[in-house]
């Protein structure tokens, strides 16, 4: 019997994408004015295939600038709806959510969560502000939203908002 060789290219590409989309550390500021935060680290390990019993979550998110203004520190909101097979996943706490700041206006900073709301219907709101000592800059912010429900499943999406 001949054994087929498996290409490692898909795993390599997935790994590079994961690191590239990794979250910014708490002190991340775009020092090179490129709009891309450096010092990324990943928070979830890559695994081979799906774990037994793993059920993917459907995660939808939208950003809302709310009280965020250029030069200010008011909050913006990330609104998230989590379902599994069409049913609301309404039991998650704040620790089930990881927000990774991906892209910011040139010179901008990462965001941090300051408030969390579970509306009990699969809808959640996370209130964010720039990291300590930083202010909002005018432009678009792209935030990766990663959701896990313990060992059963997870999902992710991108939420964006524009500070004007």
* Tokens 């708490």 belong to residue: 26
pLDDT class of 55 with cuts at 50, 70, 90: confident
pLDDT digits (tens, 9 = 90+) for 118-138: 999 999 999 999 999 999 999
Residue 36 placed within a domain: yes
pTM over 0.85: no
CA distances from 113 to 11, 98, 143, 155 (A): 31, 9, 12, 19
**How far apart are alpha carbons 94 and 106 in whole angstroms?**
29
Q: Looking at residue 80, which CATH number applies to its domain?
A: 2.60.40.10
Inform me whether the pLDDT recorded for 20 exceeds 50. no
pLDDT of the residue at 39? 47
Overall domain count for the chain: 1
Per the CB < 8 A criterion, the answer to whether 94 and 116 are in contact is yes
Asked, for residue 3, whether it belongs to a domain, the answer is no
- pLDDT tens-digit profile of 57-79? 999 999 999 999 999 999 999 99
| pLDDT tens per residue, range 136-149 | 999 999 999 999 99
For residue 23, the 8-state DSSP code is: B
Could you tell me if residue 133 is inside a domain? yes
Structural domain range at position 73 = 9-44+52-163
């Amino acid at each position: 019997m001949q054994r087929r060789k498996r290409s490692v290219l898909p795993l390599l590409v997935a790994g590079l994408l994961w690191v590239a989309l990794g979250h910014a550390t708490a002190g991340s500021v775009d020092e090179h004015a490129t709009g891309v935060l450096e010092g990324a680290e990943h928070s979830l390990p890559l695994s081979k295939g799906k774990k037994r019993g793993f059920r993917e979550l459907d995660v939808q998110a939208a950003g809302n600038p709310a009280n965020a203004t250029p030069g200010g520190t008011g909050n913006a909101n990330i609104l998230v709806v989590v379902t599994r097979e069409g049913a609301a996943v309404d039991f998650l706490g704040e620790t089930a959510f990881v927000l990774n700041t991906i892209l910011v206006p040139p010179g901008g900073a990462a965001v941090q969560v300051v408030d969390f709301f579970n509306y009990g219907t699969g809808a959640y709101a996370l209130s964010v502000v720039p990291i300590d000592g930083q202010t909002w800059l005018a432009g678009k912010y792209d935030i990766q939203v990663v959701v896990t429900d313990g060992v059963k499943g997870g999902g992710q999406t991108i939420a964006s908002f524009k500070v004007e």
